[in-house]
């Protein structure tokens, strides 16, 4: 699988907005917290200072991850998506063969996956296992609990 991540215009905007928030709101806030904590005295015993430095470290890591994700991002024209097979940005309805439960997911890039919104990553076991399949195909996907079988019921965009 390539490092390219495909996004809709909306998904790419969401990613850029989040990065903007981290760089221009959260980063200055944390910098102020560090300065305030530093002014309170001995840094070796200053838990507030160490907590702010830890938050800064995590924030900078997240910013770096998001910049990396944006460097791999490609905008995709949704009107050109092929609905004859499962691709990135496809909306796919599947049925669990074992229990008959049906699910509908949109396959998205890692950075915007959110199961509660019905968005699963194309690199997740289920997302990856569905790629390239057509309506009526059975996907056998290895998950931590074993092999799950899903029937592709519908593909749309």
Same domain? For 48 and 111 the reply is no
Per-residue tokens: 65: 């991850």
Strand pairing report for 119-121 and 102-108: parallel
Same domain? For 54 and 31 the reply is yes
| Of 111, 110, 89, 105, nearest in space to 17 by CA | 111
Q: What is the DSSP letter of 84?
A: S
Say if CB 98 and CB 105 are below 8 A apart.
no
Same domain? For 144 and 96 the reply is yes
Q: What beta strand segments (E) does 29-115 contain?
A: 73-75, 91-96, 102-108
Q: How many domains, the chain?
A: 2
Same domain? For 97 and 39 the reply is no
Question: The domain spanning residue 140 has which CATH number?
Answer: 3.10.50.30
Same domain? For 82 and 151 the reply is yes
- pLDDT one-digit tens code per residue, 14-50: 889 999 999 999 999 999 999 988 888 777 778 888 8
- pLDDT one-digit tens code per residue, 102-150: 999 999 888 888 889 999 998 899 999 999 999 999 999 998 888 999 9
User: Which structural domain, as residue segments, surrounds residue 19?
Assistant: 5-75
């Amino acid at each position: 699988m390539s490092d390219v991540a495909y996004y809709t215009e909306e998904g790419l905007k969401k990613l850029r907005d989040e990065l903007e928030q981290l760089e221009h709101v959260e980063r200055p806030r944390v910098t102020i917290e560090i300065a305030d904590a530093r002014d309170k005295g001995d840094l070796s015993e200053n838990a507030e200072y160490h907590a702010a430095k830890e938050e800064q470290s995590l924030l900078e890591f997240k910013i770096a991850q998001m910049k990396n994700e944006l460097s791999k991002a490609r905008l995709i024209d949704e009107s050109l998506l092929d609905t004859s097979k499962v691709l990135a940005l496809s909306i796919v309805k599947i049925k669990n063969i074992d229990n008959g439960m049906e699910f509908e997911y949109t396959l998205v890039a890692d950075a915007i996956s959110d199961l509660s919104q019905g968005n699963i990553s194309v690199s997740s076991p289920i997302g990856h296992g569905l790629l390239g399949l057509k309506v009526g195909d059975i996907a056998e996907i290895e998950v931590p609990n074993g092999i799950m079988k899903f029937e592709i019921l519908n593909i749309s965009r």
